Amino acid sequence: MLFRIEKKEWLGNERNDLFAGLVSSVAILPEVIGFSIIAGVPPLAALFASAVTLLVITFTGGRPAMVSAAAGSMALVIAGLVQSHGLNYMIAATILTGVLQMLFGFLGIHKLMRFISKTVMFGFVNALAILIFMAQVQQLPAQTWTSYAMVILSIGLIYLIPRFTTIVPSALIVIVVMTIFAFLFKGNLQTVGDLGAMNDITPMLALPAVPLTVETLWIILPTSLALAMIGLIESLLTVPIVDKMTESTSDSQREVKAQGLANIVTGFFGGQAGCAMIGQAVINVKSGGRKRLSTFISGMTLLLFIFAFRDLMIGIPTAALIGIMMTVAVDTFDWESLRLFKNRQIKDGFILIMTVAVIVYTHNLAIGIVLGVIVTLLIDTVFVRKLSDSSSK
């Protein structure tokens, strides 16, 4: 079977998966909505695309509990295509992205991950942690003093609540309490509804309204290739992080194929391409998510937000989500990597700093990772040559 489904991947952690799915679904909202506006995609359409991606990945992915949705890194790539040719070409590019990823999956592109050194991995993780934190800080100037207080309180509660109870994830308690507070004091806090217009959508399974010609292919191919590579790099680098956090193994090749299938299905529903979201994956696992049930709950909750509980969704205060995601950024950062500097490992320290700097500056994971791999290979080659020359003398 292309995608096998095992009972043990679903059952055995139901309560924690339920809570984790609820938390991760809410954590998805600000990034997806914010970047959908940058990309020129209706926010609800982007959320629906995220729900579809989550549900397809739930049943087909190779890494249970890893959250995939319409990530910001992918939205930045499609922005230019949407501006120049419109949403239908973006939809066609999403479908082609999925086809390319499926092809890469069968070709075994996941094997290339062995060329990415541990130091470059440190750089990837730390850069993403910094980007997540920066994304939250950038929202602060638009907040009120009430919001600043809520951000600080949310951060404090995230770390304080586990000292008293771990039955319910602290992030879920914070979201519920702060949302009630926001409803009681309307007008004093920015909410999810303030991020963008939540116009109605009517999802339909259909082909994109573009000419089926070679010219169309040449228009969407560069964007699709970029989406395919960025999506797979981010997903394949997130897989070992979740593996480490859950102390379990996964099937990277299956994940590549699943990412492709998810984008194909999402495209036929008129959505945008997606991939793994490290911040949301981390908060899903930290909230107790371990099985496929957690991402299934997350996807279904997004659908309920869109079609049944929109008023509840738009009333969630962004200040609470900013506080939660700040703690996620701190927890995502690999503090052990700083030992490279303590131990004076100059080469590894340089590669780490360079990888982080490039990713943070360009906001492009692919460029940072590829450059990190190239520099590592060059430095290792020079080192081997010097060692060989010295031994021959």
pLDDT digits (tens, 9 = 90+) for 348-379: 888 889 999 998 888 777 788 888 888 888 88
* Average pLDDT rounded to a whole number, residues 52-62: 95
Question: Mean pLDDT across the stretch 194-221?
Answer: 88
Q: What is the mean pLDDT of residues 70-83?
A: 88
Query: Taking each helix axis from N to C terminus, what angle separates 292-307 and 43-60, rounded to the nearest 10 degrees?
Result: 160
**Is the confidence at residue 1, as pLDDT, over 60?**
no
3-state secondary structure 281-310: HHHHHHCCCCCHHHHHHHHHHHHHHHHCCH
Two structure tokens written together for 270: 């008129």
Whole-number pLDDT of residue 117: 84
342 or 333, higher pLDDT: 333
**Per-residue pLDDT at 170:** 92
Q: Which of 257, 236, 244, 201 shows the shortest CA–CA distance to 50?
A: 201
Residue 245 pLDDT = 92
Residues 6+ apart with CB under 8 A from 317: 147, 150, 178, 179, 181, 182, 189, 190, 191, 192
Q: How many residues does the chain have?
A: 393
Q: What is the pLDDT at residue 383?
A: 61
User: Given a cut of 70, is residue 153 above it in pLDDT?
Assistant: yes
More confident residue, 259 or 388: 259
Cβ count within 10 A of residue 234: 24
Average pLDDT score, the chain: 89
**Predicted confidence band of residue 391 (pLDDT cuts 50, 70, 90):** low
Asked if residue 135 has pLDDT above 90, the reply is: no
